[in-house]
Amino acid sequence: MSDLRFAICGLRFCPWLRHSLVLAEFFLAVNILNAATNDFFARGIDLSRAGQFPEAAAAFENAAQRQPAAGTLVNLGLAEWQRGRAGAAIVAWEQARWIDPFEPRAAANLKFARQVAQVDEPPLKWFEQESTWLPPNAWVWLAGASLWLAVGALVLPGIFRRRKAGWQQTLAALAFMVFLASLTANVGVVSRTQIGFVLKKNAPLRLTPTRAGEIISTLTAGEPARQLRARGNFLFIRTTGESGWIESEDFRRLTDD
């Protein structure tokens, strides 16, 4: 009891001790989260090997919901494909590539799946294509860092009464060029968040956002489209050929967790 009182007194009068404990708790929580994620991942691998693909997909989905990871999503796509869900598999692999554009398995599987399912890649504009060269978050950090580097290189010597050196101006120019280049990529990233994929086979595309709405056409699982707006349980999407309303459960965007 006296030890506990001593510990409480120590926490009250030693701020550094208190801060250390909070930090330790944070790292402990992160470790627990990572451990749980890894557990789900390992379980998913085991279930996949056992041929229990629905259960494996559920395990990988759990892991991905806790912490989206490229490898987890690749495996989720494989499990979904084995279950016969081409649309869900394509979404998972696209999300894996969204996290890590250099993930080779996701790219290869997407090519394979699109050949089998006879669906196209989402058509990208030039700035969206540019945004695929790096992970989405990398572009935004690059843009922020380059902008403030350019501003700093121009402004700080004046503030600190230093002579503006040539290298500083060159650095500012280069940083500003990088900023301009990354700006279009950032626009591409934002634009790509509209892209999604049809999950269900023969998903009806309707003229109006109701279940009684006239069916314009039926969409193939894995077909890409852009979500333009939402109304109730329906999403207005534009595919390569037509536009219409689809039920939200039949469509998933790249950025839907």
Partner 1 sequence: MRLSSLKFFLLLALAPVCLRAQAPPQIPAALQAQLQVAQAPVDVTSPVTATAVFDPPVVRVGEKTFYRVTVSATESAIQWPEEIAAPVALKFGANARGQITQFLGNNFRVFTSFIYEIRPTAAGHFTMTNFTANASGPLVEIPAASLDVVADGASPQAARQLGLEISATNVFLGQPFRVRVTLPPGPGNEIEALREIQFNGDGLMTDKTAARQSIEAVSVNGQLRPMFACEMTVTPIAAGPLKFSAQGFTAGREFSGPISIHAPVSLSGGPAKYVLLVSEPVAINVRPLPVEDELPGFTGAIGKFFRNPPQLATNRLRVGEPVALKLTFHGEGELTRFVPPATPRTRDWQIIADPPPATSFTLIPLTDDVHETPAIPFSYFDPALAKFVDLTIPPLPVTVVGESLPVQLPALDEETKSAAPVKLSAPAPAPGKTVASLKPLQRRGWFVGLQLLPVAGFLALWQWDRRRRFLEAHPEIVRRAQARRALRRKKRQLQSAFETGDAPAFVRHAADALRIAVAPHYPANPHALVGGDVLAQLADAERNGRAGETVKQVFAAADAQFAVDAKVQADWLALKSELDAVLLKLEEKL
Binding residues for partner 1, rule: CB under 8 A, are 37-38, 41, 45, 48, 53-54, 63, 67-72, 74-75, 78, 81-86, 95, 98-100, 103-105, 108-109, 111-117, 135-137, 139-141, 144, 148, 151-152, 155-156, 158-159, 186, 189-190, 193, 249, 254-257
DSSP code per residue over 133-184: TS-HHHHHHHHHHHHHHHHHHHHHHHHTT-PPPHHHHHHHHHHHHHHHHHHH
Six-digit token string for 86: 């081409």
CB-nearer residue toward partner 1: 17 or 203? 203
Distance of closest approach, residue 204 Cβ to partner 1, in angstroms? 13
Q: How far apart are CA 142 and CA 146, in angstroms?
A: 6
**Smaller CB separation from partner 1, 20 or 118:** 118
Which residue number, 154 or 243, has a Cβ lying nearer to partner 1?
A: 154
3 state DSSP class of 102? coil
- Residues in CB range of 151: below 8 A, 6 or more apart: 172
Strand partners, 226: 195, 238
Distance of closest approach, residue 4 Cβ to partner 1, in angstroms: 36
Closer residue to partner 1, CB minimum distance, 190 or 216: 190
Shortest distance (Å) from residue 128 CB to partner 1:
13
Question: In which order are the strands placed within the sheet that holds 215-219?
Answer: 215-219, 203-206, 243-247, 234-238, 224-231, 195-198, 251-253
Indicate the residue type of 225. A
Instruction: Give the shortest CB-183-to-partner 1 separation in angstroms.
Output: 11
Measured in degrees and rounded to the nearest 5, phi and psi for residue 145 equal -65, -45
With contact defined as beta carbons under 8 Å apart, do 250 and 205 qualify? no
Residue nearer to partner 1 on the CB measure, 188 or 244: 188
Minimum distance from CB of 167 to partner 1 (Å)? 21
| Shortest distance (Å) from residue 187 CB to partner 1 | 9
Q: Which is nearer to partner 1, 6 or 148 (CB)?
A: 148
Backbone angles phi, psi at 117, to 5 degrees: -80, -5
- In the bound state with partner 1, the residue whose beta carbon lies nearer, of 135 and 209, is 135
Residue linked to tokens 């009068």: 13
Q: Please, what is the minimum distance in Å from the beta carbon of residue 157 to partner 1?
A: 12
